[in-house]
Structure 1
């Protein structure tokens, strides 16, 4: 089995990947790191650079964790894409980062994390940055 983590190049993404590496090491499972970009978008601030991804793979390797990057793209629904990857790889755990947003912000913009928490068919570990 494996663990899947959603990564974006922010403090929230760093907290999620750090927790995921720890879980993968403890469970002795492979780590799948997802970095999704919106299809057709020329610039996406949530897309990690090659340097970010290499650094994360290096951190996992140093911890003794086998890891690989799953690059995907989505059109309308990031949460659906991420949950589909979790199902496709039959993961034992989903790790996501949480950021604080107001209730109005969640209502207007929705929340990918909230949808993943409510709709996932696998256990979810949600972490916040320090």
Structure 2
């Protein structure tokens, strides 16, 4: 049994990682951590570096969760990459972190989370980061 977490090194990504770890512990599942980005910037902070991926891996392994990591090339289609990985890896759950966006931002830019929620063949757990002080 495998859980897919869409991970980016942000508070939302960390919330998704924590939720995926908790679900994996409850279900006795492993976690597939997928990091990708839209590739819309020359330097993209959403594309995790080696240290960030190692820290995420340690977080999961410290909780006794087996993890595999994939980094998809920036194709501009994050939702597509998540859905493709979910199908290829036969996952039972997708975990995503949500960020706050204005209604106009959602309209103009679309929503990766919305597309995954609507098109996923498996349940999707969407989590928000804790409020910032």
Question: Same fold per TM (> 0.5)?
Answer: yes
- Indicate if the aligned counterparts of 1:74 and 1:81 stay in contact, CA closer than 8 A: no
Cα distance in 1 for residues equivalent to 2:103 and 2:38: 25
Gaps of 5+ in 1: none
Cα distance in 1 for residues equivalent to 2:119 and 2:47: 24
Cα distance in 2 for residues equivalent to 1:78 and 1:37: 6
Cα distance in 1 for residues equivalent to 2:100 and 2:42: 27
* Pair 104,123 (structure 1): closer, same or farther in 2 beyond 3 Å: same
- Indicate if the aligned counterparts of 2:12 and 2:98 stay in contact, CA closer than 8 A: yes
Cα distance in 2 for residues equivalent to 1:41 and 1:98: 20
Report the 3-state secondary structure (helix = DSSP H, G, I; strand = E; otherwise coil) of the residue aligned with 1:73: coil
Q: Which moved more, 1:93-102 or 1:30-39?
A: 30-39
Note if 1:109 corresponds to 2:71.
Answer: no
- Indicate if the aligned counterparts of 2:36 and 2:73 stay in contact, CA closer than 8 A: yes
- Indicate if the aligned counterparts of 1:83 and 1:120 stay in contact, CA closer than 8 A: yes
Note if 1:27 corresponds to 2:27.
Answer: yes
Gaps of 5+ in 2: none
**Paired position in structure 1 for 2:3:** 3
**Paired position in structure 2 for 1:61:** 61
Cα deviation code 1:64-122 (max 9, x no counterpart): 10001111124231111110100111101000001111111100011101111111111
| Alignment length (residue pairs) | 130
Name the TM-score, length of structure 1 as normaliser. Answer: 0.93
What displacement does 1:45 show?
1.6
Cα distance in 2 for residues equivalent to 1:103 and 1:37: 22
- 1:1-130 superposed matches below 5 A: 1-38=1-38, 42-130=42-130
Cα deviation code 1:2-45 (max 9, x no counterpart): 00000111100000001001111111111000011456975222
Cα distance in 2 for residues equivalent to 1:27 and 1:70: 22
